[in-house]
């Protein structure tokens, strides 16, 4: 049976965590371990949103169902828009939808060649063996990401912490960063909507966009069926919670809340530990979490 949200709790005040990663992408916990950690932290509505991959959803859904924790099947799609990388989360997607699965497979296909190119650049910068090193940190080799390279560079002592890796080597504009063409925004929005999901623009405060470009993005996102933006996320500062709450209200978008948890001790915010959405922002889960909890594989 699909678990329902407890009647006693005010849906606007739910401890919802709608952005997280398992070892199917660049998280370190298995889907079941991640769900148990979320449940233990008091999360009342949880979404697994692996990068470009829905393979972990059945296991997460089964564990959430066992624990009686309402669960939303999700994904975080990598998009290239105006030459920049953006992430679009899909909440409440049907993970068996053929169009969604084919779209995600097409994005994953480019990752290995990109990873080899990153390793070549790292070698020229005096860091050999990074491809093989990154592979030792990945459980799903189709999803080799910069995070796995970063973990390897920290574990092997090249850098002191992940931030240093992105600053010195892998962040936008850094010397081992390999520009990549991800999905088109309109395609990502289409896959999410066609599979029954609600598109959410992930961590908008992370994209370096001027006001004009940001407004253009929001317009295109809405025209393609986008319905929400992340307001309270592990990637935003407190000032950005307020800034993106205002943007959501002004643009008629729902707000989402998610830690973007990847690994214990590594992620800035742990599961279920974010402040609530600012007053007035309508939560995306009034639309997706409660009405379209997908029971997957459970």
CB 57 within 8 A of CB 40: no
Dig out the tokens for 61 from the structure.
């859904």
Q: Scanning residues 197 to 216, which ones bind Mn ion (CB under 5 A)?
A: 202
Question: For residues 185, 187, 190 and 195, what is the CA-based torsion angle, rounded to 10 degrees?
Answer: -120
Interface contacts to ligand AMP, rule CB under 6 A: 26, 51, 78, 145-147, 162-163, 166, 171, 262
Pick 106 or 251: Cβ nearer ligand AMP: 106
Distance CA 225, CA 289 (A): 18
User: Across the strands, what pairs with 16?
Assistant: 45
Q: Which is nearer to ligand AMP, 98 or 113 (CB)?
A: 113
Could you tell which of ligand AMP, Mn ion, none binds residue 163, using a CB distance below 5 to 8 A set by kind? Answer: ligand AMP
Min dist. Cβ of residue 9 to ligand AMP (A)? 30
CB of 219 to ligand AMP, least distance (A): 25
> In whole angstroms, how close is the CB of 165 to ligand AMP at the nearest point?
7
Helix-helix angle 98-108:185-194, to 10 degrees: 150
Cβ pair 242, 259 in contact under 8 A? no
The residue with its CB nearest to ligand AMP is 145
Residues in the chain, how many?
Answer: 298
Under DSSP, the state recorded for 171 is: S
Return the residue of 39, 87, 151, 193 that touches Mn ion, per CB under 5 A.
Answer: 87
- Least distance CB 111 / Mn ion (angstroms): 13
- List interacting residues with Mn ion (CB under 5 A): 26, 76, 87, 202, 260
């Amino acid at each position: 049976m699909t678990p329902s949200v407890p009647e006693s709790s005010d849906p606007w005040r739910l401890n919802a965590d709608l952005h997280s990663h398992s070892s199917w992408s660049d998280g370190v916990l298995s889907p079941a371990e991640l769900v148990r950690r979320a449940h233990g932290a008091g999360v009342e509505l949880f979404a697994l949103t692996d990068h470009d991959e829905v393979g972990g959803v059945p296991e997460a859904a089964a564990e959430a169902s066992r624990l009686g924790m309402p669960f939303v099947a999700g994904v975080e799609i990598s998009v290239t828009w105006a030459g920049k990388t953006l992430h679009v989360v899909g909440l409440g997607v049907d993970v068996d939808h053929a169009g969604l699965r084919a779209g995600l497979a097409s994005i994953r296909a480019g990752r290995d060649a990109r990873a080899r190119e990153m390793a070549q650049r790292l070698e020229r910068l005096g860091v050999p063996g990074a491809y093989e090193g990154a592979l030792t940190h990945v459980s799903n080799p189709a999803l080799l990401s910069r995070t796995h390279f970063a973990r390897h560079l920290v574990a092997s002592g090249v850098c002191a912490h992940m931030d240093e890796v992105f600053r010195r080597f892998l962040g936008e504009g850094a010397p081992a960063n390999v520009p990549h063409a991800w999905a088109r925004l309109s395609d990502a929005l289409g896959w999410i909507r066609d599979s029954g999901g609600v598109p959410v623009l992930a961590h908008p405060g992370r994209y370096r966009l001027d006001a004009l470009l940001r407004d253009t993005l929001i317009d295109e996102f809405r025209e393609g069926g986008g319905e929400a933006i992340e307001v309270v996320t592990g990637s935003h500062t407190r000032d950005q919670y307020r800034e993106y709450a205002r943007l959501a209200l002004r643009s008629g978008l729902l707000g989402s809340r998610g830690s973007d948890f990847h690994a214990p001790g590594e992620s800035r915010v742990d599961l279920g530990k974010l402040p609530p959405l600012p007053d007035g922002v309508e939560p995306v889960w009034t639309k997706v979490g409660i009405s379209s909890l997908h029971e997957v594989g459970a």
